[in-house]
A = this chain, B = another copy of it.
Amino acid sequence: MSKKWVYLFTEIEEAEKQVGGVWDAVRGLLGGKGANLFEMTRIGLPVPPGFTVTTEACNAYYASGRQFPEGMWEQEVAAMKAIEKVAGKGFGAGDNPLLVSCRSGSKESMPGMMDTVLNIGLNDVTVETLGKLTDNERFAWDAYRRLVEGFGKVVLDIPDTDFEHALHGMKEKLGVKLDTELKTQDLKELTSQYKAIVRRHTGAEFPQDPYDQLRLATEAVFRSWMGKRAVDYRKHEGIPETLGTAVNIVTMVFGNMGNTSGTGVAFTRNPSTGENAVYGEYLINAQGEDVVAGIRTPEKVSVMEKDLPEAYAEFKRITDILEKHYKNMQDVEFTIERGRLWMLQTRNGKRTAAAAIKIAVDMANEGLITKKEAINRVTPDNVNSLLHPQFDMNAKKQAAKEGKLLAKGVNASPGAAVGRAYFDADLAEEKSKEGPVVMVRPFTKPDDVHGMIAAKGILTSEGGATSHAAVVARQFGRPCIVGAGSLKIDLERRIMTADGVTVKEGDWISVDGGTGEAFVGQIPTVAPKFEEQTDLITLLSWADEIAATEGMRKPGKNDSPTRGLQVWANADYPADARRARQFGAQGIGLCRTEHMFFETERLPIVQRMILADTSEERTAALNELLPYQRADFDGLFEAMTGLPVIIRLIDPPLHEFMPDEEALLEEVIEMRVKGETAGLAEKESLLAAIRGMHESNPMMGLRGIRLSIVMPEIVEMQVRAIFEAASDVKLRGFEPHVEVMIPLTGTVRELEVIQPKLERIAKQVVSEKGTSVDYKFGTMIEIPRACVTSYEIANLAEFYSFGTNDLTQMTFGYSRDDAERNFLLKYVEDGILPKNPFQVIDREGVGALMDICVEQGRKTRPGLEVGICGEHGGDPDSIEWCHLIGNNYVSCSPFRVPVARLAAAQAAVKHAK
C-alpha cells in the first residue's frame, strides 16, 4: 500500500497519528490553513467538505524530479468521490455540480506568495447546470470565465495581459467601465475568447474534464512553491525550503445566492485597540472577492445581527468557541450560503502593539491563558513601539508621495522627531530654546552631547548602529538615523542635499528613527505616556515576577544563587535614573562618569588637568572638579535609594576631551601663512600637546584602567567624590548601594595595582564622614584576555559587567567606528554574519568567551555578580544569552528597560525546565 498523501478534513486523528500528535507537526504536514480547517471540522464547526494533499507529497514531488508520488493522485480522486457523497453533489456531473477551490498552504504564512484556483469543476456543461440551479446564469458564466482566466494564468502560465486585453477590448466595444456592467451574453462571449487564448498558447482546448482541472491545479500549487516570488520571500523571512506546501481542496460555497447569503472577514477582538468585541466586515449577497474589490461598501459585521439574526447568533457562538479553543484572538473568513454559515478559514489575528498587549493582559485576566502565556503573546518590538512617539502613518505615506523623502539610513533609535535642522551642537542647543531642533552632523563626538540632548532627533550621514550618535541617542531616547550615506552635508554652505533635494540649515525636517527615513517638512506625530499604559505596566509586572521565579537558575556550570535575570539601566544623571526607575529598572548598571566632564563649565578645568605638567597642577584642577562630581553622584544615589548603582571610573582616552586636532592645525597654518604671531605660539604648543596624545588605534589605547595606572590622580578624585556623596546621602537617611567599576581590565595585576589603593580611599572617606556605606569594587569585562583569565581576575573583582561593545570589537577585530560603513553591513546583507554583532551578541564567538568568563569567575568566587552594560543589554536575543550563561542582570538605556523586562521573562519561560 502506498503512503497516505491525502487526508479528508474529517481525518485529523489519522494525520495526528502519522506525525505523533503534536500540533506543530500537524501544521507541518497539512499547512497552517489546512490544519485549522481540520481542527474546526473536528470541534464540530461548519467547514465545507474538503481534503488536503500533504506537504510531504509536495516534497516527494520535488524529490522525484517533479512527479506526483506514487498513489497520490489515486488518493485525491478517492477523496473527491468521498466529498461528492457527503455533499450530495457531482464533480463535473449531475444536476448539482460540485465546485472546489484549490489553494496552497504552507506551515508558515506566506501571504500572496503562492497560487489559488477557484471554481474548479465548471465546464461547458456544468456552467449551464449551475446557472439553472442558482437561477443566476450571469453568476455561473462569470464564475466560469474566472476559472478559465485563473487556470490559464496559474496553471498554464499564460501572461495576465492577454486576458486583460480581451476584457478591456470587450468593455471598450460595449462602452462600459465596470466588469459588473457586463451582461450574461457578454460573459459567454468573453469566456469563449479566453478559451481561444488558452488554445493559442497551449495548442489545446481548455480542459473540460474536472479531474484534469484538479490534477493540473494541484501540480500548479506544488510548482508555485519554487516560484521566484515564493523563493525570495522565504529567503527574506528565513523560512526553510524543506517545509513544502500543502494543497487544500475545499467545496465552494457561495455568498451571492440572494439575500439569505453573504460573506465576511472578522477578528474576534479589535486588532487595533485590543478591545474585546468582534471586529470585521461583511456583505450580504456577495462573494469574498466583492469585499476585497471595494465595489460595494461592506457593512460592519454587527449589522449582520439585524440582517441575518440566526446566522449572526451562529457566528457569535462559533467565534466564542474559536477563541476559547485557540486561546488567541482569531482572524476568520466565513460565507453564508442561503442562511447557512460556513467557516472558510481561521488563524491567529495580526494586531497592533497596543492591541497585542491589551489582548494578552485581558485574556490572562479572563483566565483564558496563563500569565506566562500572556508574556509570550507580546513581542519586544510591541513594547518598544509603545514607548516612542510615532509618525501618523498616512501623513508619512502622503509625504513620500509628494517626494519629500530626503534620505534613508540606519534606524538607530526608534521614534519620530520633527524639528529645524541644525548642523552643529552649539547651534542646535541655542536654537532649541526657540523651538524643536533636529541635529544634523556627518557624525558626532562626545563634545556634541549637549546638542544631542537639546535636539528632538539626530541625523548623521556616517556611522553605524552603534556609532557614538546611535548610542547616545538611544541612551537619551532620541529618535536617530545614522549613516544616511546619500546625504551630503556641506558645513561651509550650511546646506545638505540628497537625491537632488536640498535642505537649508534651519529648515524643518522629520526623522523616523524606527524606519530610518528622513523627510523634508513637518509630519504630525502621536506621543505615548508610559504611566498611562496600564496594560503594559500590568504585563511587565508579571514579567518581573516570572523572570524572578521561572528564571531562578538550576544548578549548572555557571550557577550562582540569584533571583533570575533582573533589568537595570544605564544612566549618568539623576533625571535618567528617575526615568529608569519609573520604567522598572532594579538598579543602575552603568553610570559613565566622563560624560560629566564634557559640560561647558567643567571642560576647561578638565583640559587644564590633562595638560598639567606636574602632579600638583593636576591635583589642583582635580580638586576643582571634585565638588561637581560629588554633586552628580549625590543626586544619583538619592534617586536610586535602596537599589544598586554601578559607577564606572573614567574610561575614554584623554584626547577626547581636547579640541579637534584638525581644526586647530588649520588655524595654525592659516596664522603662519598670514604671518599672524599674536597667540600663535600658544596654539602651536596646544597643537603639539594634542598631537602627543594622538593614537593610531585609540580604541585599543591609553584608556580605562591603563589610564588610571599611568595617571591615578583622576580616579582617586572620582572615588573620593563617590564616597563623599554616598556618605552624605546616607546621612540624609537614604540607602546608597555603591558599586565602583574599573573599566578595561586585561590582567588581574592591573587590578592589584589600582583596586586596593581605591578601596583605601573609600574606607578613609566613609570613616571621615563618620558613617558606613555598602559598597563593592568590580570590573568591566571587555577584553578577550579578561575572559580567558577570569579565574584570576575574580580573585579581586567582586562583580563583573560585560562591556559587550568593546568585547565584540576586540573579539572580531572590528572597529565599531568604521566597520559598519566599510564592510559590516555588507557582511550582514550577504549572510556572512547572521546579525550585526554590535546589535545582537554573537553567541558563537563573543558569547562563548562570555560563557568561559562566567564559568571561570564563579569557580573562583561562587557568588560573583555578573551583568552586562553594553548596547546589547537592551536586545532580546542577547538578553536570552545573558539568561543562559547565568547573568544576574542586564543593563540598558532607560527607554529599553520595559523591552528588556519582557525579554528577560520570555527567556526565563523558554528555558524553564
Chain A interface residues toward B at CB < 8 A:
662, 665-666, 669-670, 673-674, 695-702, 706, 709-710, 744, 746-747, 749-750, 753, 782-785, 788-789, 792, 806, 809-815, 817-819, 822-823, 826-827, 830-833, 842, 844-846, 848-849
Q: Which residues of B sit under 8 angstroms from A810, Cβ to Cβ?
A: 784, 810-811, 813
Q: Which residues of B sit under 8 angstroms from A750, Cβ to Cβ?
A: 832
Nearest CB of B to A703, in Å: 9
Cα of A389 to Cα of B273 in the assembled complex, Å:
85
**Are B818 and A702 in contact, CB atoms less than 8 angstroms apart?**
yes
User: A710-B822, A785-B846 are known contacts; what are 11 more A-B pairs with Cβ within 8 Å?
Assistant: A665-B669, A669-B670, A695-B818, A697-B818, A700-B818, A710-B826, A746-B845, A783-B813, A784-B810, A784-B845, A785-B842
**Are B815 and A697 in contact, CB atoms less than 8 angstroms apart?**
yes
Interface centre among A817, A822, A848 (most CB of B within 10 A): A822
**Are A696 and B695 in contact, CB atoms less than 8 angstroms apart?**
no
**Are A823 and B669 in contact, CB atoms less than 8 angstroms apart?**
no
Q: Which residues of B sit under 8 angstroms from A701, Cβ to Cβ?
A: 815, 818-819, 822
Among B665, B811, B830, B832, contact of A785 (Cβ-Cβ < 8 Å): B811
Interface centre among A753, A784, A846 (most CB of B within 10 A): A784
Among B699, B785, B848, contact of A700 (Cβ-Cβ < 8 Å): B699
Nearest CB of B to A745, in Å: 10
Nearest CB of B to A850, in Å: 11
Nearest CB of B to A803, in Å: 11
As for how many copies of this chain the complex holds, the number is 2
Cα of A710 to Cα of B695 in the assembled complex, Å:
27
Q: Which residues of B sit under 8 angstroms from A784, Cβ to Cβ?
A: 784, 810-811, 813, 845, 849
**Are B665 and A789 in contact, CB atoms less than 8 angstroms apart?**
no
**Are A817 and B697 in contact, CB atoms less than 8 angstroms apart?**
yes
Q: Which residues of B sit under 8 angstroms from A812, Cβ to Cβ?
A: 746, 783, 785
Q: Which residues of B sit under 8 angstroms from A744, Cβ to Cβ?
A: 813
**Are B698 and A823 in contact, CB atoms less than 8 angstroms apart?**
no
Tell me the nearest residue of chain B to A744, going by C-beta.
B813
Q: Which residues of B sit under 8 angstroms from A697, Cβ to Cβ?
A: 697-700, 815, 817-818
Nearest CB of B to A200, in Å: 45
**Are B665 and A845 in contact, CB atoms less than 8 angstroms apart?**
no
Cα of A105 to Cα of B670 in the assembled complex, Å:
70
Nearest CB of B to A312, in Å: 57
Q: Which residues of B sit under 8 angstroms from A809, Cβ to Cβ?
A: 700
Nearest CB of B to A872, in Å: 16
Cα of A701 to Cα of B824 in the assembled complex, Å:
10
Among B696, B749, B753, B792, contact of A817 (Cβ-Cβ < 8 Å): B696
Tell me the nearest residue of chain B to A661, going by C-beta.
B662
Cα of A844 to Cα of B813 in the assembled complex, Å:
20
Q: Which residues of B sit under 8 angstroms from A670, Cβ to Cβ?
A: 669, 673
Among B788, B806, B827, contact of A849 (Cβ-Cβ < 8 Å): B788
Tell me the nearest residue of chain B to A846, going by C-beta.
B785
Nearest CB of B to A768, in Å: 30
**A-B contacts, 8 listed (Cβ < 8 Å):** A662-B665, A673-B673, A697-B699, A697-B818, A698-B815, A702-B823, A710-B822, A784-B845
**Are A845 and B674 in contact, CB atoms less than 8 angstroms apart?**
no
Among B706, B823, B848, contact of A706 (Cβ-Cβ < 8 Å): B823
Given A698-B697, A833-B747, A848-B788, A709 contacting B813 (CB threshold 8 A) = no
Cα of A673 to Cα of B701 in the assembled complex, Å:
35
Q: Which residues of B sit under 8 angstroms from A669, Cβ to Cβ?
A: 665-666, 669-670, 673
Cα of A785 to Cα of B753 in the assembled complex, Å:
29
**Are B788 and A700 in contact, CB atoms less than 8 angstroms apart?**
no
Among B666, B782, B833, contact of A665 (Cβ-Cβ < 8 Å): B666
Cα of A730 to Cα of B812 in the assembled complex, Å:
39
Closest 10 CB pairs of A and B: A697-B815, A785-B845, A696-B817, A700-B815, A702-B822, A784-B784, A695-B818, A673-B673, A697-B697, A749-B832
Q: Which residues of B sit under 8 angstroms from A665, Cβ to Cβ?
A: 662, 665-666, 669
Q: Which residues of B sit under 8 angstroms from A832, Cβ to Cβ?
A: 709, 747, 749-750, 753
Nearest CB of B to A812, in Å: 5
Tell me the nearest residue of chain B to A792, going by C-beta.
B844
Interface centre among A698, A782, A832 (most CB of B within 10 A): A832
Interface centre among A670, A747, A806 (most CB of B within 10 A): A747
Given A673-B669, A747-B832, A750-B832, A813 contacting B806 (CB threshold 8 A) = yes
Cα of A783 to Cα of B818 in the assembled complex, Å:
17
Cα of A66 to Cα of B330 in the assembled complex, Å:
90
Q: Which residues of B sit under 8 angstroms from A822, Cβ to Cβ?
A: 695, 701-702, 706, 710
Cα of A669 to Cα of B818 in the assembled complex, Å:
26
Tell me the nearest residue of chain B to A666, going by C-beta.
B669
**Are B814 and A700 in contact, CB atoms less than 8 angstroms apart?**
yes
Among B813, B814, B830, B844, contact of A753 (Cβ-Cβ < 8 Å): B830
Q: Which residues of B sit under 8 angstroms from A849, Cβ to Cβ?
A: 784, 788
Q: Which residues of B sit under 8 angstroms from A662, Cβ to Cβ?
A: 665
**Are B696 and A788 in contact, CB atoms less than 8 angstroms apart?**
no
Nearest CB of B to A669, in Å: 5
Q: Which residues of B sit under 8 angstroms from A789, Cβ to Cβ?
A: 844-845, 848
Q: Which residues of B sit under 8 angstroms from A846, Cβ to Cβ?
A: 785
Given A702-B822, A813-B810, A845 contacting B788 (CB threshold 8 A) = yes
Cα of A792 to Cα of B662 in the assembled complex, Å:
44
Cα of A103 to Cα of B827 in the assembled complex, Å:
72
Q: Which residues of B sit under 8 angstroms from A845, Cβ to Cβ?
A: 746-747, 784-785, 788-789
Nearest CB of B to A700, in Å: 4
Cα of A669 to Cα of B670 in the assembled complex, Å:
7
**Are A749 and B702 in contact, CB atoms less than 8 angstroms apart?**
no
Tell me the nearest residue of chain B to A786, going by C-beta.
B845
Q: Which residues of B sit under 8 angstroms from A811, Cβ to Cβ?
A: 783-785, 788, 810
Cα of A269 to Cα of B484 in the assembled complex, Å:
77
Cα of A753 to Cα of B698 in the assembled complex, Å:
31
Cα of A430 to Cα of B364 in the assembled complex, Å:
85
Tell me the nearest residue of chain B to A749, going by C-beta.
B832
Q: Which residues of B sit under 8 angstroms from A674, Cβ to Cβ?
A: 673
Tell me the nearest residue of chain B to A754, going by C-beta.
B832
Nearest CB of B to A691, in Å: 10
Nearest CB of B to A706, in Å: 5
Q: Which residues of B sit under 8 angstroms from A814, Cβ to Cβ?
A: 700, 746
Q: Which residues of B sit under 8 angstroms from A785, Cβ to Cβ?
A: 811-813, 842, 844-846
Tell me the nearest residue of chain B to A751, going by C-beta.
B832
Q: Which residues of B sit under 8 angstroms from A709, Cβ to Cβ?
A: 823, 826-827, 830, 832
Nearest CB of B to A169, in Å: 48
